[in-house]
Structure 1
Amino acid sequence: MMKQRLVSDLKDGFILSCQALPNEPLHGSRIMAAMAAAAEEGGAAAIRANTPEDIREIKRRCSLPVIGLYKKQYEDSDVYITPTIVEVRDIVEAGAEFVAVDCTRLPRPGNQTLDDLIREIRCAFPQILIVADVSTYEEGVHAISLGVDIVSTTMSGYTPHSPQQDGPDLELVGKLSRLRKVPVLAEGRLWSIEQCLSSFDIGAHAVVVGTAITRPQEIVKRYVQRI
């Protein structure tokens, strides 16, 4: 019941992705937590956050549910969003209600299959909600068949076999939403309210915005280029 409520509470919601990599000016758990607290004041439905440290600090600062992920690079794989059960465990222990997992068809660390990882997560952490980050329709269908709770279009444009475009992949959002199997999050290159509204119009359960709000260097760059 709690899991169903967490998912239903995201309906028509705005999710802020609070992430900054080590080489970026706003990197640091305190800064990310401050952004999350500001998002809560503004009416956000949830936060998406990277690393156990950031998640713990965010959970201390605000009461919103967290979609947690842990970016880790392994030498034998290009998958980096919560690639193994080790990272999943770290996210769960940090207090996230959801865990985002790369569910693309890219080879995984140790040649583990996505099917095996999802089963492993369900067995070890039955309380956690799984968000499948996909880049294509076929990947979304496969993730749904594995029993994930939510599908997100996060990885469209970030795999070599997905559409490479400047704007959000609204076609993918619409196709996955029309399946009416699991809720779909529109995520990736959303820069305007109009794009968010278009996502809802074609069936998105919620929208996830990150760079357009939480990475000022990229926001300034867009202004400078236009000027």
Structure 2
Amino acid sequence: MTDAASASALLGRLRGRLIVSCQPVVGGPLDRDDIVVALAEAVTGAGAAGLRIEGVARVAAVCRAVSVPVIGIVKIDLPDTPVRITPRLADIDALAEAGAPIIAFDATGRARPVPVAEMVARIHRHGRIAMADVSTRAEGRAAAAAGADIVASTLAGYVAGPAPTEPDLALVADLAADGFTVIAEGNVRTPEHAASALAAGAFAVVAGSAITRPEHVTRWFLDALGTG
């Protein structure tokens, strides 16, 4: 993908559709490359229009196995920043080489190794679509001003305060009202959440744990039963 027409066509495949994040619990029994590929094949076979995949090797393997658009990320803990989703330019280079047509990165306002605008420019240099994971409307506006093609609500609630349990539909609506291509992501736990996100103005919706992390879903049921 090297031009605006190609990028527009790829995004068009995701409009109003479900994207599934296939990121097993780290260290869990499903945390294997072959299982991630199997999960990707299973959900796309059921109709998922796109995937979000973590790790360069897994992105490459999934891109070889399926034909839907892949959002590639790298997660790494660095000593001098809380930013851990695709924090470095080298991560962008590796994800592009692995074949991810969309590269997502943390675009929050926290102390970061590389400015948001530089991250976006590097993604575009590879001819890829830049997806900015944000936690606030201000961050979304800043990312869009820096050239991000997609603004996602991925990190809403995770920068400050207790971890949320529902999607931030107000943020989705605000970003959509600003005219951005918005992907709703983060705590989309039910089909109703997904439908509500589209109604709030989301361009597309990402669901992850509810589909590909049975450990989390089991815990939700146990908590509801009071037996957790």
Q: TM-score range by the shorter chain?
A: over 0.9
Deviation of the 1:22 alpha carbon: 3.5
1:220 aligned residue (215, 218, 221): 218
In structure 1, the partner of 2:117 is: 115
Equivalence map 1:42-53=2 (5 Å): 42-53=46-57
Structure 2, unaligned runs of 5 or more:
none
What RMSD over aligned residues (CA atoms) do the two structures have, in Å? 1.4
Residue matched to 1:174: 173
Query: Any conservation in 2 of the 1:156–1:163 contact (CA below 8 Å)?
Result: no
Alignment of 1:1-227 (within 5 A): 1-109=5-113, 112-122=114-124, 124-125=125-126, 127-160=127-160, 164-180=163-179, 182-227=180-225
Residue 64 of structure 1: how far off its partner (Å): 1.1
Whether the 8 Å contact between 1:34 and 1:61 is mirrored in structure 2 is no
Query: What TM-score do you get using the length of structure 1 for normalisation?
Result: 0.93
Cα drift, residue 164 of structure 1: 5.0
1:120-165 CA-partner distances (Å, limit 9, x unpaired): 333x31x1000000000000000010111111100111112x7853
Mapped partners of 2:63, 2:172: distance in 1: 29
Following superposition, the deviation at residue 36 of structure 1 comes to 0.6
Unaligned runs of 5+ in 1: none
Asked whether the 8 Å contact 1:28–1:54 carries over to 2, the reply is no
Q: Structure 1 vs Structure 2: percent identity of aligned residues?
A: 35
Which amino acid in structure 2 is aligned with residue 66 of structure 1? V
Q: Secondary structure at the match of 2:130?
A: strand
Q: How many residues align?
A: 221
The secondary structure found in structure 1 opposite 2:151 is: strand
Does the C-alpha gap of structure 1 residues 203 and 85 become closer, same or farther in structure 2, counting only changes over 3 Å? Answer: same
Which stretch shifts more, 201-210 or 14-23? 14-23
TM-score, normalization: structure 2?
0.93
In 2: Cα distance, 1:53 partner to 1:61 partner: 13
3-state DSSP of counterpart to 2:35: helix
Distance 1:163 1:45 in 2: 31
Contact 2:107 2:139 in 1 (8 A): yes
User: 2: distance between equivalents of 1:53 and 1:205?
Assistant: 28
**Structure 1 residue identity aligned to 2:24:** A
Secondary structure at 1:82 match in 2: coil
